[in-house]
Amino acid sequence: MSQAVNEVLAQHWATGLFVVAVIGLCAFMMVASSLLGGRSQGRSKTLPFESGIVGAGSARQRFSIKFYLVAMLFVIFDIEAAFLFAWSASVREVGWSGFWGAAVFIVILLAGLFYDSRVGALDWAPKRQQ
């Protein structure tokens, strides 16, 4: 029995040391921050601070639906670019059938992009009145 325990300890001592070191480091950082951290109070300490600019206005500000639409289209077309990159890495292995499959994929993407531009989904700003 002790032989098996010794073998397990010999194989996994580094993992146990790592776990103990991580717990010790976390405890040290929490104690050091509580001892060395500032304790000042004031009106400006409770304000939200983002990128060096004090916030102005409501956090419940409404955005145009166009913002979300353009963001979703960007994500969709970005994912398709990742698929095409993976295809380009294996273009020699897939042969002509893979080439024609990617060509159909690109044509469908272009048709979707053309449709989006025709219905105005890519227009960020509102149209000018004449």
**Nearest residue to 80 (alpha-carbon basis) of 108, 47, 99:** 108
Q: What is the pTM of this model?
A: 0.46
Whether residue 74 lies inside any domain: the answer is yes
Whether residue 105 lies inside any domain: the answer is yes
Block residue for tokens 């405890």: 27
The Cα–Cα gap between 100 and 103 comes to 5
The Cα–Cα gap between 48 and 119 comes to 40
Structural domain for 12, as ranges: 1-35
Whether residue 127 lies inside any domain: the answer is no
Q: What average pLDDT does the chain have? A: 82
- Name the band, by pLDDT with cuts 50, 70 and 90, for residue 117: confident
The Cα–Cα gap between 121 and 46 comes to 40
pLDDT tens-place string over residues 56-103: 777 677 777 777 887 888 888 888 888 888 888 888 888 888 889 889
Whether residue 128 lies inside any domain: the answer is no
Whether residue 60 lies inside any domain: the answer is no
The Cα–Cα gap between 10 and 24 comes to 22
Whether residue 7 lies inside any domain: the answer is yes
Whether residue 75 lies inside any domain: the answer is yes
Residue 11 tokens, joined: 């194989």
